[in-house]
Amino acid sequence: MTSTITVAAPSSTANLGPGFDVFGLAVNAFYDEITLTKKKTKGVKIVTDDDIPKNPDKNTSGLVVKTMIKKFKTKDGIEIKIKKNVPAGFGLGSSAASAAASAVAFDKLYNLGLNENLLVEFAGIGEKASAGSIHYDNVAASVLGGFVIVKTSPLEIIKIKPPSDLRMCIAVPKLKVPKKKTKVSRSVIPKKIDLSSSISNLSNASTIVVGFMNKDSELIGKSIKDVIIEPARKHMIPGFSAVKKNALKAGAFGVTISGAGPSVIAFSKNSKNLEKISQAMTKGFESAKLECQTIICKPSVGAKIKK
């Protein structure tokens, strides 16, 4: 019987502009690796060299595994080995990648055969550790891969295969981010929105879905327009307006905040000059005296068993 299993899960970008908490896209920029090992000694133990909470109740993977142990009444202790590669706190679904890998690994370790919606539901519990509340956009993308739509009550994830030529440039600014960054950036968004903003976001969100269905990267990119969340959050990203303006001028179809930020993501396709867009984004951050790392990436598959 298997006693140890390793799963890698991808980074992701949430929202894609108008799809706040609903849209997610797995991206091949980074992968977190989680190894679960059954132990004779009861309880959950975290083993990692990374600067993340070691207390399982405060750790994304720890929360997921503890919940699954309780739910499925498994008897073993579990050691969770965590290798983080997705930078934490930059809007790239770092906690979600660990949570997704943990849920998928636990499912395989005990041969539970859970369906994708349940895996996402368990992985979502891990988001509580960093965001303070559960949202499924990043975890759904990390579990399933590709483009996902989160349908709530009851939770159901709809997956659409992205166009093969879709490319993104992500600029990750060298900023000191608050420890509970997602919680902080969720606190600035409006509680109420006006009808015209809602119509605008609904219109763009709908055309993003059509873009994915029709494998039309240009339509996807041109619909990345958010008049609700981006205006409320952009003050938290020095240089955001310059980064966006520069990337659009360099040929990006659309630009927005990646998830809760502070990374900025530009949407394009592989025939476009992606290097030029990356450089334009770097210059934008430079105008705010910030360095950044740029990553050209494409959609990723979901969480995968390594061994």
Residue ranges binding ligand HSE (CB under 6 A): 14-15, 20-21, 131, 135, 137-138, 182, 186, 259-260
Q: How far is the CB of 49 from ligand HSE (least distance, A)?
A: 24
Q: How far is the CB of 15 from ligand HSE (least distance, A)?
A: 5
Q: Which of 13, 67, 182, 282 is catalytic?
A: 182
Residue number with CB closer to ligand HSE (150 or 266): 150
Residue number with CB closer to ligand HSE (109 or 149): 149
Q: Which of 33, 79, 121, 127 is catalytic?
A: 127
Q: How far is the CB of 187 from ligand HSE (least distance, A)?
A: 10
Q: How far is the CB of 112 from ligand HSE (least distance, A)?
A: 26
Q: Give yes or no: 182 in active site.
A: yes
- What is d(CA 131, CA 186) in angstroms, rounded to the nearest whole number? 8
Residue number with CB closer to ligand HSE (60 or 182): 182
* Angle (deg, nearest 10), helices 94-109 and 137-144: 50
- Evaluate the omega torsion of the peptide bond into residue 154 and state whether it is cis, within 30 degrees of 0: yes
Residue number with CB closer to ligand HSE (98 or 182): 182
Name the residue with tokens 């399982």.
56
Q: How far is the CB of 31 from ligand HSE (least distance, A)?
A: 17
- What is d(CA 142, CA 25) in angstroms, rounded to the nearest whole number? 8
Residue number with CB closer to ligand HSE (9 or 250): 9
Q: Give yes or no: 256 in active site.
A: no
Catalytically annotated residues: 127, 182
